[in-house]
Chains A and B, each alone.
Chain A
Amino acid sequence: MVSNEGNDIVREIERMAPAQEAQSRPFLLRIDRWWLLFVGVVIITSLLIIKEPDPYRRIFVFLQDGIRVTLSITVVSFLLILLAGLIGGLGRVAKNPIINGIASIYVEIVRGIPLLVQLLFIYYASPVLLRDLGLRLSSIWPTLSAKLISVKLNPFGAAVVGLTVCYGAYMSEIFRAGIESIPKGQMEAARSLGMNYFQAMRYVILPQAVRVILPPVGNEFVALLKDSSLVSVVAVADMTRRGREFMAFTFIPLETWMMVALLYLVMTLFFARVVAYMERKTSFVR
Chain B
Amino acid sequence: MSANIIEIEHVSKRFGRVVALDDVSLTVKQGEVVVIIGPSGSGKSTLLRCINHLESADSGRIVVDGIPLTEAKNIDKVRAEVGIVFQLFNLFPHLTALENITLAQRIVRKKPQEEAERIAHQLLAKVGIPEKANAYPAQLSGGQQQRVAIARALAMQPKIMLFDEPTSALDPEMIKEVLDVMLDLAKEGMTMVVVSHEMGFVKAAARRIFFMCDGHIIEETTPEGLLTGCKEERTRQFLSKILI
Same complex for A and B? Answer yes
Contact of A195 among B82, B107, B139 (CB under 8 A): B107
Complex contact A285–B104 (CB within 8 A) = no
Which candidate, B13-21, B83-91, B213-221, is the interface stretch facing chain A?
A: B83-91
Complex contact B92–A3 (CB within 8 A) = no
Complex contact B108–A1 (CB within 8 A) = no
Complex contact A195–B104 (CB within 8 A) = yes
Complex contact B80–A193 (CB within 8 A) = yes
Q: Give the distance to chain B from A5, nearest Cβ to Cβ, in Å.
A: 10
Complex contact B54–A208 (CB within 8 A) = no
Q: Give the distance to chain A from B173, nearest Cβ to Cβ, in Å.
A: 5
Contacts A199-B108, A208-B93 given; does A193 touch B79 at CB 8 Å: yes
Complex contact B76–A196 (CB within 8 A) = yes
Within 8 A of B (CB), among A1-59: 1, 3-4, 7-8, 11, 15
The 3 A-B pairs at the shortest CB distance, nearest first, are namely: A194-B80, A193-B104, A189-B90
Within 8 A of B (CB), among A170-226: 183, 185-186, 188-196, 199, 203-204, 207-208, 211
Within 8 A of A (CB), among B64-117: 76-77, 79-80, 82-84, 86, 88, 90-94, 103-104, 107-109
Contact of A284 among B86, B94, B156 (CB under 8 A): B94
Complex contact B76–A7 (CB within 8 A) = no
> Which B-chain residue is minimally distant from A210 (CB atoms)?
B94
CB of A286 within 8 Å of the partner chain: yes
CB of B52 within 8 Å of the partner chain: yes
Chain B interfacial positions (CB closer than 8 Å to A): 52, 54, 76-77, 79-80, 82-84, 86, 88, 90-94, 103-104, 107-109, 128-129, 136, 138-139, 141, 143-144, 152-153, 156, 173-174, 177
Which residues of A are found within 8 Å of B103, using beta-carbon distances? 193, 203-204
Complex contact A7–B90 (CB within 8 A) = no
Contacts A195-B108, A199-B108 given; does A204 touch B80 at CB 8 Å: no
Q: Give the distance to chain B from A271, nearest Cβ to Cβ, in Å.
A: 25
Contact of B128 among A1, A15, A188, A203 (CB under 8 A): A1
Within 8 A of B (CB), among A90-144: none
Complex contact A192–B108 (CB within 8 A) = no
Contacts A4-B143, A11-B139 given; does A284 touch B79 at CB 8 Å: no
Contact of A185 among B52, B86, B109 (CB under 8 A): B86
Complex contact B136–A284 (CB within 8 A) = yes
Contact of B88 among A3, A185, A199 (CB under 8 A): A185
Complex contact B144–A4 (CB within 8 A) = yes
Complex contact A188–B90 (CB within 8 A) = yes
Instruction: Kindly name the residue among A191, A193, A207, A285 whose own CB sees the greatest number of chain B CB atoms within 10 A.
Output: A193
Complex contact A199–B107 (CB within 8 A) = yes
Q: Give the distance to chain A from B150, nearest Cβ to Cβ, in Å.
A: 12
Which residues of A are found within 8 Å of B86, using beta-carbon distances? 185, 188-189
Contacts A1-B129, A195-B104 given; does A185 touch B90 at CB 8 Å: yes
A203 and B136 alpha carbons, distance in the complex (Å) = 16
A-B contact pairs, 30 of them (CB 8 A): A3-B173, A7-B141, A183-B90, A185-B86, A188-B54, A189-B86, A189-B90, A190-B92, A191-B76, A192-B52, A192-B54, A192-B83, A193-B108, A193-B156, A194-B77, A194-B79, A194-B104, A194-B108, A195-B104, A195-B107, A195-B108, A199-B108, A204-B92, A284-B93, A284-B94, A284-B138, A285-B93, A285-B136, A285-B139, A286-B93
Q: Give the distance to chain B from A242, nearest Cβ to Cβ, in Å.
A: 44
Complex contact A193–B152 (CB within 8 A) = yes
Contacts A194-B80, A286-B138 given; does A1 touch B104 at CB 8 Å: no
Which residues of B are found within 8 Å of A8, using beta-carbon distances? 139, 141
Which residues of B are found within 8 Å of A186, using beta-carbon distances? 90, 92
A241 and B91 alpha carbons, distance in the complex (Å) = 52
A186 and B54 alpha carbons, distance in the complex (Å) = 12
Q: Give the distance to chain B from A69, nearest Cβ to Cβ, in Å.
A: 38
Which residues of A are found within 8 Å of B84, using beta-carbon distances? 192
Q: Give the distance to chain A from B136, nearest Cβ to Cβ, in Å.
A: 7
Q: Give the distance to chain B from A177, nearest Cβ to Cβ, in Å.
A: 18
A189 and B150 alpha carbons, distance in the complex (Å) = 12
Complex contact B92–A189 (CB within 8 A) = yes
Which residues of B are found within 8 Å of A190, using beta-carbon distances? 92, 104
Q: Give the distance to chain B from A245, nearest Cβ to Cβ, in Å.
A: 49
